[in-house]
Amino acid sequence: MLRAGGAQILRQDIPEKSKLIAEEANALALTAAGKNDTAALANHYQGSLSSFFSAPRGWIYRMRPSGGKRRKLLDDLENIDRYLGEEGRTQRRAMSVLVRTKDDLDFQSAIQNRIRFWAASHTWVLGSFLVLTIAHVIVAHQFTSSW
């Protein structure tokens, strides 16, 4: 599943990369806000994309990551093409790349956190099993022979 999410990124690097992508998307939206043929992109960013770039995904996504939000955001971006000029379409394509990149980072984070959770859980269960096994051996030994 990690390979499906693009290039593998270290878990501790994901928040910094997400922040850089959010800053780049914000700068792109600010550039788009200054012109008439790209204003629709800036409005769309303000209405739909700013929260996607600035906040981490919810716990439901972290439990079961899916591509539904990504597809919806990319479809919405394509739907504003008719309101954009040629420069606006170029900026919209750049914004689409940023949406894909942010979604890939969120996917990597969700899967890596899931792996970390299961590794910790299995370690705890194995440790408990080991303690119970030792206790069982001691109790069984007491009932079969004398010390």
Phi, psi (deg, nearest 5) at residue 146:
-100, 155
| Domain residue limits, the chain | 3-120
Compute CA distances 60 → 6, 10, 56, 65, 110, whole Å: 21, 22, 12, 8, 10
User: For 106-127, b where at least 16 C-beta lie within 10 A, e where not — what string?
Assistant: bbbbbbbeeeeeeeeeeeeeee
Q: For 73, which DSSP code?
A: H
Q: What is the pLDDT of residues 25-82, one digit of tens each?
A: 999 998 888 788 788 898 999 998 999 999 888 888 888 888 899 999 999 999 998 8
Q: Which are the contacts of 81, defined by CB distance < 8 A and separation ≥ 6?
A: 89, 92
pLDDT at 95 > cutoff 90: yes
Percent over 70 (pLDDT), the chain? 93
**What is the mean predicted confidence (pLDDT) over 86-103?**
92
d(CA 143, CA 55): 60
CB contact at 8 A, 112 and 11: yes
Model's pTM, two decimal places? 0.78
